[in-house]
Amino acid sequence: MNFLFKSIDHYQLASPNTEDQSRKFFTEILMFREVKKPLSLSSNGWLWFESGSIKIHVGTEDHFITQKKLIQHLKLKNSTNLNNI
């Protein structure tokens, strides 16, 4: 059986920050919109964000360990606003 993939549905990231810190970073700095999770997943503690077609799910971890070869890149239309961060 052959498959043809159209796109990636979402990225799932772990964060060493609290949910409030992660929420502030994604919504106030990166300007993502927080998305309400389905009721069946609401108790797992993850945050969901969207910007256009990009979907990112963020979970916080108490004992966060940085992965050495895990890299995500977001392409920006206008990066001049990053100078103000």
pLDDT at res. 33: 96
Are 29 and 76 spatial neighbours (Cβ–Cβ below 8 Å)? no
36 phi/psi in degrees, rounded to 5: -70, 130
Tens-digit pLDDT profile for residues 20-77: 999 999 999 889 999 998 888 888 788 999 998 889 999 887 777 777 766 667 777 7
Residue 3 vs residue 25, higher pLDDT? 25
Q: Please say if the pLDDT value at position 85 is more than 70.
A: no
pTM: 0.74
